[in-house]
Amino acid sequence: MKPEITTWQEYQAAYKESIENPSNFWSKIAKTFYWQKEWTNVCSGDFSDVNIRWFDGGILNITENCLDRHLAERGDHLALIWEPNDPTEKMHGVRKYTYRQLYEEVLCCAQMLQKLGVQKGDRVCIYLPMIPEILICMLACARIGAIHSVVFGGFSAASLAERINDSDAHILITADSAFRGNKEIHLKEIADKAIQNAPGIQHCIVYIHTGCAIPWVEGRDLKYQDLIAQTTAECPAVPMEAEAPLFILYTSGSTGKPKGIVHTTAGYMVYVGYTFRNIFQIRDDDIFWCTADVGWITGHSYLVYGPLLNGTTVLMFEGIPTYPDPGRFWQVIQKYKVTIFYTAPTVIRSLLLEGTSYLEDKDLSSLRVLGSVGEPINEEAWQWYYKHVGKERCPIVDTYWQTETGGIVISPIANITPTPPCYATYPLPGIVPAILDSYGKEIALNSLKEPAEGTLCFKQPWPSIARTTFRDHARFKKVYFEEYPGYYLTGDNARYEPTTGMFRITGRMDDVLNVSGHRLGTAEIENAINEHEAVVETAVVGYPHPIKGQGIYAFVICDRPFSSSEDLLKSVQQLVSEKIGPIAKPDYVQVVPGLPKTRSGKIMRRILRKLLEGATPTQIGDTSTLLDPAIVESIFEGLLLKPKAV
């Protein structure tokens, strides 16, 4: 499908109409999709009552839009190219699916799930590596109206069990093992451990991917390939109401356990399909590569749904950027003539350190558009990406969004709107940003003379905003809508430039960490570390890290001496790997005599953050509200990381 926005004037006109007359605007966009029955009411609800609904009365199935409707004209066009971790691997080699082949695979998989008794509204948990089956299983769920809940393959058994239990899933789909670089991750073993604490699981479907030896529970465990062999490519698309849930995706917040963010069918489809083709200015022959794992929202929206809704060819890569050498990404771009490359700043920063020799011998002339997502991109990384990857020919779209927003909300439109370094720039149609000052008062952006920075919120519902947290609407309201009534709170800070009207995202304002583009909550990590036998209390904060964006630093109070700080670090890392996953391991664990707490017992993480950014105790401002101001000095003395002085 063709982008609607092709000029700056068209962007302005689309934006204006989307705000002044959202019903008109979005019904035109919605008509570019296939509906079994059209909607009767475009949108209703607001941020005060938190009862948002889009395209009410409409009946559709998203898979008819991702697959069936492309068959007539694009049936033989490639839908998916899969590149394995090991470029020389023999077991599968490269896997390619045309739209027709993908359609057939999805229908077989959907029939398989139906035969196992999965029905509309049931939750299916998917714990798979980056292989075509992850996408096939998601679409198969959507085909029969089941709600998929994908859990990133880097999460531990405990995290997986928690997510299975919260979503009340009875089917888990996993693989024997997966490769990432020269590491093998034994997913089936992890799944088995999880199921011990997830008694609701009736069947574990195992895709045999590497052929490694795996434990097996007769009756409960079923081989994916055996089940598929007994199916036919027949499965009608179950009619879904516009507001029927499409998926649950767990994400971390400031407090408590991860939240099961719920996205519904029609609004998500319309917004993600529309933003994909417009932001990247999609053409018929594009090869689009999104390097994000399907286990995160970027993978859901811009590796699976966005490209398939538009009949685009998408590339999925199982491996990592540095295997077998740091030229792998560039080699993959050259091999498949990738035209659009969408990745995270952390990837750019790690490859930048390898120098340009890995790029120089590759032909990257197929590239047309570059994208960045997941965290603020720093100027150095932006310039390197622009110069060495895009050869100063390709615009970089710095796309800002969140699991909760469903799709990209602030971003340039490639070759149409400006792309200054480090700016997410302008809101997409339907998005009304607001910046609140430290008192929670909205700053009047129209009359500003100087740039202003504050809390980024959105004022008006758009089609793909999350509808709720699974089975806990009260929590959804509390986290996103209560502190500033009438606004959706992003948790990010942003700066507004009145001369250009552009937004720059400056980072999280809450206790959410962004480590290598992975979103983690400090509370979750603290809870895990508190289970350590020697630890009484923990405060976790992020510190600036040259590659990961943020690193994880834990301050712990211990009630017994530990043999060595190295042993303490190792045992804490081990514990966090088990409780959450290796991605959440702290880099440093510092034993402290106390934590900076207010008289009411709240830990002032802000002070700890400042120390790690290089401030001395005298530079961190007023500490008079602390119960014991002297503690700051002793924490400072014991810092394991000596940042450059500010």
**Binder among 375, 510, 524, 526 for ligand WTA (CB under 6 A):** 375
Q: Are 161 and 194 in contact (CB under 8 A)?
A: yes
- What the block records as the tokens of 436 is 């609140």
Closest alpha carbon to 193 in 172, 224, 212? 172
The answer to whether residue 251 forms part of the interface with ligand WTA (CB under 6 A) is yes
**Binder among 18, 514, 516, 522 for ligand WTA (CB under 6 A):** 514
Residue 171 or 515 having the CB closest to ligand WTA: 515
Residue 200 or 421 having the CB closest to ligand WTA: 421
- The runs of H, that is alpha helices, within 21-156 are 22-30, 62-63, 69-74, 99-115, 132-144
**Binder among 3, 58, 461, 491 for ligand WTA (CB under 6 A):** 491
Cα separation, 129 vs 301, in Å, equals 17
Q: Which amino acid is at 413?
A: I
Stretch that binds ligand WTA, among 11-19, 41-49, 322-330, 371-379 (CB under 6 A): 371-379
Residue 305 or 400 having the CB closest to ligand WTA: 400
Residue 14 or 513 having the CB closest to ligand WTA: 513
Smallest separation, CB 585 to ligand WTA (Å): 18
Residue 197 CA neighbour count, 13 Å, CB half: 15
- What the block records as the tokens of 36 is 């079994």
The answer to whether residue 424 forms part of the interface with ligand WTA (CB under 6 A) is yes
- What the block records as the tokens of 4 is 């609607």
- Whether the ω angle into residue 421 lies within 30 degrees of 0, i.e. cis, is no
**Binder among 111, 156, 346, 403 for ligand WTA (CB under 6 A):** 403
Residue 84 or 345 having the CB closest to ligand WTA: 345
Smallest separation, CB 470 to ligand WTA (Å): 16
Stretch that binds ligand WTA, among 78-86, 124-132, 367-375, 552-560 (CB under 6 A): 367-375
Cα separation, 182 vs 162, in Å, equals 29
The answer to whether residue 67 forms part of the interface with ligand WTA (CB under 6 A) is no
The kind and range of the H/E element at 588 are: strand 588-591
Q: Which amino acid is at 473?
A: H
Q: Are 45 and 52 in contact (CB under 8 A)?
A: yes
Smallest separation, CB 25 to ligand WTA (Å): 24
The answer to whether residue 522 forms part of the interface with ligand WTA (CB under 6 A) is no
Stretch that binds ligand WTA, among 17-25, 131-139, 396-404, 600-608 (CB under 6 A): 396-404
**Binder among 399, 455, 538, 550 for ligand WTA (CB under 6 A):** 399
The answer to whether residue 550 forms part of the interface with ligand WTA (CB under 6 A) is no
**Binder among 295, 299, 376, 433 for ligand WTA (CB under 6 A):** 376
Tell which positions 261-300 bind ligand WTA, by CB under 6 A.
296-298
**Binder among 279, 303, 316, 373 for ligand WTA (CB under 6 A):** 373
Distances (CA, A) of 431 to 9, 146, 462, 607, 632: 17, 29, 7, 34, 42
Smallest separation, CB 178 to ligand WTA (Å): 21
Q: Are 529 and 575 in contact (CB under 8 A)?
A: yes
* # residues near ligand WTA by CB under 6 A: 22
**Binder among 350, 402, 417, 550 for ligand WTA (CB under 6 A):** 402
Q: Which residue has the tokens 């700066």?
A: 495
With a CB cutoff of 8 Å and minimum separation 6, the contacts of 122 are 146, 147, 169, 170, 171
Which residue number is nearest to ligand WTA in terms of Cβ? 403
Largest CA distance in the chain: 73
Distances (CA, A) of 326 to 154, 236, 247: 21, 45, 35
Distances (CA, A) of 139 to 310, 391, 492, 546: 15, 37, 32, 38
How far, in whole angstroms, is CA 567 from its chain's centroid?
33
Quote the crossing angle between the two packed helices 8-20 and 22-30, to the nearest 10°. Answer: 120
The answer to whether residue 400 forms part of the interface with ligand WTA (CB under 6 A) is yes
Smallest separation, CB 401 to ligand WTA (Å): 5
Cα separation, 566 vs 543, in Å, equals 20
Tell which positions 219-238 bind ligand WTA, by CB under 6 A.
none
**DSSP 8-state class, residue 179:** E
Stretch that binds ligand WTA, among 31-39, 99-107, 370-378, 445-453 (CB under 6 A): 370-378
Residue 508 or 532 having the CB closest to ligand WTA: 508
Residue 384 or 400 having the CB closest to ligand WTA: 400
**DSSP 8-state class, residue 159:** H
**Binder among 105, 221, 318, 492 for ligand WTA (CB under 6 A):** 492
Stretch that binds ligand WTA, among 37-45, 279-287, 369-377, 537-545 (CB under 6 A): 369-377
* Pattern 296-325, ligand WTA, x by CB under 6 A: xxx---------------------------
Closest alpha carbon to 417 in 500, 520, 299? 500
- What the block records as the tokens of 570 is 């190792």
Smallest separation, CB 301 to ligand WTA (Å): 8
Residue 39 or 296 having the CB closest to ligand WTA: 296
Q: Which amino acid is at 562?
A: F
**Binder among 505, 595, 607, 615 for ligand WTA (CB under 6 A):** 505
Q: Are 195 and 171 in contact (CB under 8 A)?
A: no
Q: Provide φ and ψ at 212, rounded to 5°.
A: -70, 160
The answer to whether residue 153 forms part of the interface with ligand WTA (CB under 6 A) is no
Binding site residues, ligand WTA, CB under 6 A: 251, 296-298, 373-376, 398-403, 424, 490-492, 505, 508, 514, 519
